[in-house]
Amino acid sequence: MQHTILVTGATGYIGSHTCVCLLQAGLRVIAIDNLCNSSPQVIARIEEIADRALPFAQLDIRDYAALDALLKKHAIDAVIHFAGLKAVGESMSQPLRYFDNNVAGSITLLRALAAHDIKTLVFSSSATVYGDPQSVPIAETAPLSATNPYGRSKLMVEQILSDLARSDEGWRIATLRYFNPAGAHESGRIGEDPHGIPNNLMPYVAQVAIGRRAYLSIFGGDYPTPDGTGVRDFIHVMDLAYGHLAALQRLFSGPGCFTVNLGTGSGVSVLQAVRAFERASGQTIRCRISARRAGDIAACYASPTAAQTLLAWRAEKSLDQMCADQWRWQQANPDGYGQTH
């Protein structure tokens, strides 16, 4: 039986790569996005890579009437919920916007799904729900506490989903806590296209390498890490996409809810990532160490054991592959999808 999957936030960075993965696996996909932080061009590029049609509706998950009309039109079997704002720094200055979009939007979506008896959901969460971890690697059983409104919005939705599942055992929910997505599809046709100054390391480094930015600001050179810079778990965006497919397959195979980390299980410092990008691009990346950024932590990397056990999934692609794919995307799309940034 061919399942039909609704993907919210489908034109975003992780959503777009996951749509490719789902289509190539033979699933039918319905894509929605409000395009507040992405380009409509993405849909055509996903269709080009996957060689499959991707029906798309410009729709905000806070709009119950529009969701209701969409769910009446399509027989949806499951939802992958990516739609959300995701910049940590921005969330510190605009907390209400983040709670409205990420938390209230998720509640509206869940109400609409429940009304149509659609109870299979994969939720895009984040390692930020662990706050400043007591130890690394981080297992799913680690204490939860967010250090910024973005992380808190993800944690709130996790708690809402947990209560929802307890209230009605018909729900099948996979909560996926991502670490640090990087890279791009190997075709170079889709990738991360941040508006304005990138919040994530890899697109910033890529923009320095191609000459769009003069230098990389490294926030904090005095962390208790091997070289003083923050340590993160960088995971290739296509590995992450396959993690969503594995989670869906698990949900379709039987009842129950689960939460897993999606990461590589190894930490890479900012400076190590910069050196890897220099190798991939053949460019020198100018760096300046600046003050630590509010809400940032020293080290954060996953224990990936649960995902390996539960989903038979593991990250396959190396840091060098992430950098090579990111550089290919950046060179082919020096201005991203061509919007005015």
Query: Which DSSP symbol is given to 35?
Result: -
The 10s digit of each residue's pLDDT in 21-53 is 999 999 999 999 999 999 999 999 999 999 999
Residue 340 pLDDT greater than 90, yes or no: no
pLDDT of 1 reads 65
Q: For residues 152 and 147, give the distance between their C-alpha atoms in angstroms, rounded to a whole number.
A: 7
State in Å, rounded, how far the first CA of the chain is from the last one: 43
State the average pLDDT for the chain.
96
Token representation of residue 142: 């680690």
The sign of the torsion formed by the CA atoms of 114, 58, 327, 220 equals: negative
Nearest to 230 by CA among 241, 216, 240: 216
Q: How much is the pTM?
A: 0.97
Percent of the chain whose predicted confidence (pLDDT) is above 90: 92
- Mean pLDDT, residues 93-119: 98
- Mean pLDDT, residues 89-116: 97
Residue 339 pLDDT greater than 70, yes or no: no
| CATH, domain 4-186+234-263+303-315, list 3.40.50.720, 3.30.70.920, 3.40.228.10, 2.40.70.10 | 3.40.50.720
The residues annotated with a catalytic role in the active site are 150
Residue 341 pLDDT greater than 80, yes or no: no
Token representation of residue 59: 């729709």
Q: For residues 129 and 127, give the distance between their C-alpha atoms in angstroms, rounded to a whole number.
A: 5
Nearest to 80 by CA among 152, 2, 21: 21
| 118-to-122, 177, 185 alpha-carbon distances in Å | 12, 22, 30
pLDDT of 304 reads 97
- Mean pLDDT, residues 70-82: 98
Higher per-residue confidence, 339 vs 25: 25
The sign of the torsion formed by the CA atoms of 317, 225, 279, 89 equals: positive
The 10s digit of each residue's pLDDT in 233-247 is 999 999 999 999 999
The 10s digit of each residue's pLDDT in 121-167 is 999 999 999 999 999 999 999 999 998 999 999 999 999 999 999 99
